[in-house]
Amino acid sequence: MRAAYFDCPSGASGDMILGALLDAGLSLESLRAELQKLPLAGWTLTSREVRRGAFRAAKADVEIDRATHLHHRSLGDILRILRESRLTGSVVDGASRVFTRLAEAEARVHGSTIEEVHFHDVGAVDAIIDVTGAVVGLSLLGIESVHVSALPIGGGMVDSAHGTIPIPAPGTLELLKGFPVVDTQVRAELVTPTGAALLTTLARSAGVMPGMTIDAIGYGAGTREMATPNLLRCVLGTLTATPRAAETVYQLETTIDDMSPQLYEPLIDRLLEGGALDVFLTPVIMKRSRPGVVLTALCPENRVAELSRIVFEESTTLGVRWSPMERATLDREIVTLTTACGPILFKVSRLGGRVITVTPEFADVARVAREKGLAVREVLDRARADGRGLLEGQGG
Please say if the pLDDT value at position 92 is more than 50.
yes
Select from 14, 8, 7 the least CA-distant residue to 133: 14
Please say if the pLDDT value at position 216 is more than 90.
yes
Q: What is the mean pLDDT of residues 37-53?
A: 94
Mark whether 275 and 352 lie in a shared domain.
no
Mark whether 350 and 205 lie in a shared domain.
no
Q: What confidence score (pLDDT) does residue 204 get?
A: 83
Mark whether 215 and 352 lie in a shared domain.
no
Q: What confidence score (pLDDT) does residue 353 get?
A: 65
Domain that holds residue 254: 247-327
277 contact partners, CB below 8 Å, separation of at least 6: 249, 298, 299, 300
Select from 315, 309, 313, 275 the least CA-distant residue to 295: 315
| 20 CB burial (10 A radius; 0-12, 13-18, 19+) | buried
Among the candidates 302, 327, 352, a domain finishes at 327
Among the candidates 278, 303, 327, a domain finishes at 327
Select from 194, 44, 34 the least CA-distant residue to 124: 194
Q: What confidence score (pLDDT) does residue 316 get?
A: 96
Phi-psi region of 3 (alpha: psi -120 to 50; beta: other; left: phi over 0): beta
- Asked if residue 396 is part of any domain, the answer here is no
How confident is residue 71, by pLDDT bands cut at 50, 70 and 90? low
Mark whether 140 and 283 lie in a shared domain.
no
Mark whether 321 and 338 lie in a shared domain.
no
What is the separation, in whole angstroms, between the first and last Cα of the chain?
A: 11
| Structural domains in the chain (count) | 3
Cα Rg of the chain (Å, integer): 25
Q: What confidence score (pLDDT) does residue 67 get?
A: 66
Percent of the chain whose predicted confidence (pLDDT) is above 70: 94
Contact 156/169 with Cβ under 8 angstroms? no
Q: How many CB atoms lie within 10 A of CB 387?
A: 25
CA distance 394 to 243: 14
Mark whether 208 and 272 lie in a shared domain.
no
Contact 191/152 with Cβ under 8 angstroms? yes
* 213 or 245: which leads in pLDDT: 213
Q: What confidence score (pLDDT) does residue 121 get?
A: 44
CA distance 247 to 221: 41
Q: What confidence score (pLDDT) does residue 244 get?
A: 55
171 three-state secondary structure: helix
Q: What confidence score (pLDDT) does residue 83 get?
A: 95
CA distance 219 to 47: 12
